[in-house]
Amino acid sequence: MSLSSPRLFVAFGMAMSLLTLSGCSLGMSVESGSLAGACQFQPCECVGSGGALGFGGERASIVWRENGDATCPDGFRLRLAAK
């Protein structure tokens, strides 16, 4: 199999997609705007800026908007909760 094989490119693309999805499922921070609707279906949490990578910092309650989107109080950011 040569290095320019289409199978190699497909395998690489699939591996990158899986890495991206696994990072999201591990509770890693993602931009809050993209999580606002997702938190209706997956557990989320509001975390403060303390701690490395946001782990171990302060926690706050999620604020639910009338349209069903989740948000956090000032000084906190929304992320998927660790399972």
In the chain, what is the greatest distance between 2 CA atoms, to the nearest angstrom?
Answer: 55
Tens-level pLDDT at each residue, the chain (83 residues): 555 667 766 766 676 666 555 544 444 444 455 778 889 899 999 988 765 554 567 899 999 999 889 999 998 998 888 87
Q: Is 6 helix (H, G, I), strand (E, B) or coil?
A: helix
Residue 74 falls within a domain, yes or no?
Answer: yes
Establish how many alpha carbons lie within 13 A of residue 76's alpha carbon, considering only the half-sphere containing its beta carbon.
18
Range of the domain at 22: 6-80
pTM value is 0.52
Q: How many domains does the chain have?
A: 1
Contact between 52 and 22 under an 8 Å Cβ cutoff? The reply is no
> Tell me, what's the pLDDT at 7?
74
Question: 71, 59, 83: which is closest to 32 by C-alpha?
Answer: 71
Residue 1 falls within a domain, yes or no?
Answer: no
